[in-house]
Amino acid sequence: MDRKIIAAAGVLGAIGIILGAFGAHSLKELLAPEQVAVFETGVRYQMYHALFLLFVGITPMVSQKAKKAILGLVLTGVLFFSFSIYFLACNSLFSFDFKKIGFITPIGGLLLISAWAVLFLHIMRRKG
């Protein structure tokens, strides 16, 4: 499980860096500054959670069951939160109106918060 979590952290981190560079260079010519700022929010939260997974993957303080739950919550949360933000920020570039799926953004945020809550509760219940 640790290997899978660390690999997921690597993938999220690499994609985050790619999208961050894309936003900083290519999107500045296509979108308003406010839209680029929204896009960068998605990148920032994706990177926070790549680092979070890296920590979870290397710490011996978290059980494999909790790690599995955290991995699922983070991956789904990033997909819903960050990726919906990417599409919402770039909405003017597509023919599909991504505002129709905007309701998944807060669901993704709740999943990310839940991953942190699982870590917190697991550590608080741990003996020693």
Condensed to tens digits (0 to 9), the pLDDT of residues 112-122 reads: 999 999 999 99
Query: What is the tally of structural domains in the chain?
Result: 1
CA distance 11 to 5: 10
Q: State mean pLDDT over 60-78.
A: 97
DSSP 98: G
Q: What is the pLDDT of residues 16-38, one digit of tens each?
A: 999 999 998 899 889 989 999 99
Angle between helices 64-89 and 2-25 (to 10 degrees): 20
> What pLDDT is recorded for position 4?
96
Domain hosting 115: range is 2-125
Q: Is the pLDDT of residue 128 over 80?
A: no
